[in-house]
Amino acid sequence: MRPEVALPILIPLLSGAISLMFWRSHFMQRLVAVAGSGALLLTSLWLMASVNADGILVMHMGDWEAPFGITLVADLLGAIMVVLTGIIGFAVALYSLASVGRGHEAFGYFPLMHLLLAGVAGAFLTGDIFNLYVWFEVMLVASFALLILGSEKPQMEGAIKYVTLNLLSSVIFLTAVGLLYGLVGTLNMADIAQRLSQVEDNGMIDVLAVMFMVAFGIKAAAFPLFFWLPASYHTPPVAVSALFAGLLTKVGVYALFRVFTLIFNQSPDYTHEIMVWGAGLTMLSGVLGAAAQFEFRRILSFHIVSQIGYMILGLALFTPLAIIGGVFYIMHHIIVKTNLFLVSGIVKRLRGTYELKRLGGLYKSHPWLAILFLIPALSLAGMPPLSGFFAKFIVIRAGIEAEAYGVTFIALLVGLLTLYSMTKIWAEVFWKAPPEPRDDDKEIPAISHRELWQLYVPVVGLALCTLFIGLNGQPIYALAEASAEQLLDPARYIEAVLGQGGEVTP
């Protein structure tokens, strides 16, 4: 019995329930938010340590042996993702204390946040494909409600696109699960992987692979169906944006990694080739979209799209080094992207707007904030010695070794254009002189020292994580390497879930 496999799902569910019980108590909800996400972070570290020590951990729910019951499986990739969920959950919970207004809290911001974290952790830990669908829906419902907290006009307009595209992708996913069940008669991912090798209908397998690719591609905001993301991510309160930016699309990327290393690894010439070009176009369209924007959070939203391309490229090249690069990129990206959104929230709090044209002079008034912006921004663009440099370096090197020169060139170009976008924000927000005040400027409430510090603490923490990954690259690389080894050897996953013999007679 390994409780740590289930705890990262149970703790947020439980804290969500407790938080609901204290619906009217402002103080208790905040206390539960910090305590619950802190406990999630601690258990995720525990899980990481156990997985590192003992290999892939499996838990059969209700003691129904696989493949009959639902299994929870924690391999290294799953554990890494759960740790990142813990870090982001804790940072955003701290940030929310000072940034989420009482009005939003009164409509259940904190219970929804816990529910979202539970859905995300569940998706990372489940070993059952239908259960993955259920966790996706848990996560989606929580995110729908968080997205429209406050019900402003842009939020409604963004939410319609977000809801429609995500529901469409869920239905495609469900359809693919139904067809897959018809083909192999099982839902356990390890069992599916084993039985699929005995299926002779290769055409059907390719159809299913592409259906999963489309479904998860929409969730990951990959080309061509990414437009729901920049249409909606800049509309909700900034803490929600940061949480979404860090975690939601990465669940789609994780699902792609899981499904295309474990289940659909038969014809990489076909499926992974599609992904290579999908990744290239995702990078390019995201970064070009960002170049045209002059709103802080919209630029960052488009950059989520472009960075997703690098992660998918790591998977698509399908060499050991490329997978390492993909996993490393996910680790780097989740932390950096959340941090950038948190910084944009501080800027908004200080100046009352996200429009670059109406910002300026922040370097003079808040030099430390400028430094805190530069760390994740330069990391995103891939400047050494920050985390993004190593992430990009590994992916690009893998691209050259795989002789995929076209897409490697795109990756390098996109890195340069990312730097352009980040320097644009730097110059407009921090460097240039503040613009003349306009008549329609809103009065900005004065910010107390205490409130400012509450906003700074999570930003500093995440910046330290970025520096840690960058300056301490070798252990992190070794971790990514070990997880890539597990991903490229599905037999180990299958053996861990189904037991020694592997073959199960129904």
Partner 1 sequence: MEPLMAVVIGVIYSAAIYMMLRRSIVKLVIGLMLLSNGANLLIFTSAGLTRGAPPLIPEGLSAPLGDVADPLPQALVLTAIVIAFGVLSFAVVLIRRAYEIVRADDLDKMKDTDT
Residue numbers at the binding site for partner 1 (CB under 8 A): 130, 133-134, 137, 140-141, 144-145, 148, 151-154, 156-161, 163-164, 167-168, 170-171, 174-175, 177-179, 181-182, 185, 187, 227, 230-232, 234-235, 289, 292-293, 298
The kind and range of the H/E element at 280 are helix 268-291
Reported in sequence order, the residue ranges of 121-280 that DSSP labels E, i.e. its strands, are none
Considering the complex, what minimum distance in angstroms separates the CB of residue 306 from partner 1? Answer: 14
Q: How far is the CB of 141 from partner 1 (least distance, A)?
A: 6
Q: Provide the 10 A C-beta neighbour count for residue 357.
A: 11
Nearer Cβ to partner 1 (96/285): 285
- Shortest Å, Cβ 230 to partner 1: 6
3-state per-residue secondary structure call for 351-376? HCCCEHHHCCCHHHHCHHHHHHHHHH
Name which of 1 and 292 has its Cβ closer to partner 1.
292
Tokens of 60: 């059969």
**Helix 238-262 to helix 76-99 angle, to the nearest 10 degrees?**
170
Helix H or strand E encompassing 60: strand 57-60
Question: Whole-number minimum distance, CB 144 to partner 1, in Å?
Answer: 6
Can you say how many angstroms the Cα of residue 222 is from the centroid of all Cα atoms in its chain? 13
Would you say 39 or 240 has its CB closer to partner 1?
Answer: 240
Stretch (H or E) spanning 409: helix 405-425
Determine the Cα–Cα distance for residues 163 and 120; give it in Å rounded to an integer. Answer: 17
**Shortest separation between residue 338's beta carbon and partner 1, angstroms:** 21
Report in angstroms how near the CB of residue 422 gets to partner 1 at its nearest: 19
Closest contact distance (angstroms) between CB of 483 and partner 1 is: 30
Q: For residues 500 and 505, which CB has a smaller minimum distance to partner 1 in the complex?
A: 505
Report the first-to-last Cα separation within the chain, whole angstroms. 25
Nearer to partner 1 by Cβ, of 34 and 179: the residue is: 179
Of the pair 28, 167, the CB lying nearest partner 1 is at 167
* Residue 388 tokens, joined: 């993004």
Residue 133 Cβ vs partner 1, minimum distance, rounded to whole Å: 8
Token match 């995440």: residue?
462
Q: Give the residue with the Cβ less far from partner 1, 28 or 160.
A: 160
- Toward partner 1, which CB reaches closer, 229 or 479? 229
Strand 71-74 and strand 57-60: the pairing is antiparallel
CA pair distance 365, 359, nearest whole angstrom: 12
List the beta strands (DSSP E) in 105-208: none
Query: Given its phi and psi angles, is residue 150 left (phi above 0), alpha (psi -120 to 50 degrees) or beta?
Result: left
